Amino acid sequence: MGMQCHANTRPTALAFSNMLPDVLNHRNPPDVRGNRVNGAPKIVAYYGLRTPPYKLDALEPYMSKRTLEFHWGEHHRGYVEALNMHLGKNDILYGYTLEELIKVTYNHGNPLREFSDAAQVWNHDFFWESMQPGGGDSPKLGLLAQIEKDFGSFTNFKEKFTEAALTLFGSGWVWLVVKRNEKRLALVKTANAISPIVWDDIPLICLDMWEHAYYLDYKNDRAEYVNTFLNHLVSWDKATLRIIKAHAFMNLGEPKIPGEFLAPEEANVGGEPKIPVA
């Protein structure tokens, strides 16, 4: 997410926590370096509206250009503009990446006013990238094996994903994530703007279950919307790249990274099966 910067330093999360009471009460606000000043110069951070990684009509007939123009062009844009407006009034939050900003403003479950718009911007960027033209079908090799390991079968995963989406109360999101501590895949439902990154999960795909995400194309038929996402829109290619990145930071155990992404000697392509040593 692009940002225009005018300073080289910013407060750490710990420093921010220490300064939080003054920020909330608007007393003697610190500057971007964490120094107490009486009249800090106004510094504004701008986040840009990222375009989806495909043309707005590329997901048709499963998600219409009209929906993308409305959902991305109006709702997503509105979250970006609202976030920039908030940040223009409170320069202590200047300089964070969007992901850092979400984690800081979540404030241990007591969100600051900037949190909702920041999370909505990040969630929508992630949602657009969770789809692709010609999507659906099923994941391949390593990701499929990981899903089968953690959900029993791919069919069982789809059933649980659908159940999670249709039982989500109100507006929110459904996520397939990597749980860092448990080192496994899991489905997570979040309400409103909350993203699982605030709990240190690693998202792989997400589905927007806010009404404006599906109403123009599916009216109140949420089940058809979820079914279409899983069978025609979800990008397992992107999810595969994301789980490879997760593997770089943690050991999920067997199965390993998909063979097609490894060097030939590592993948053992064309060679004898590798037999584990007892």
What pLDDT was estimated at residue 251?
63
Alpha-carbon distances of 278 from 27, 251, 254, 274, rounded to whole Å: 65, 20, 16, 12
What pLDDT was estimated at residue 141?
85
183 contacts 251 by C-beta, under 8 angstroms: yes
Rounded to the nearest 10 degrees, the angle between the axes of helix 98-106 and helix 13-25 is 60
Alpha-carbon distances of 127 from 5, 8, 117, 238, rounded to whole Å: 26, 31, 15, 11
| Gyration radius from the chain CA atoms | 21
43 contacts 88 by C-beta, under 8 angstroms: no
The model's pTM is: 0.76
Digit-coded pLDDT (tens) for 36-93: 334 444 444 479 999 999 999 999 999 999 999 999 999 999 999 999 998 888 778 8
DSSP 111: -
- Provide DSSP, 145-192: HHHHHHHSSHHHHHHHHHHHHHT--SSEEEEEEEETTTTEEEEEEEET
Q: Which residues in the chain land under pLDDT 70?
A: 1-45, 249-278
What pLDDT was estimated at residue 252?
60
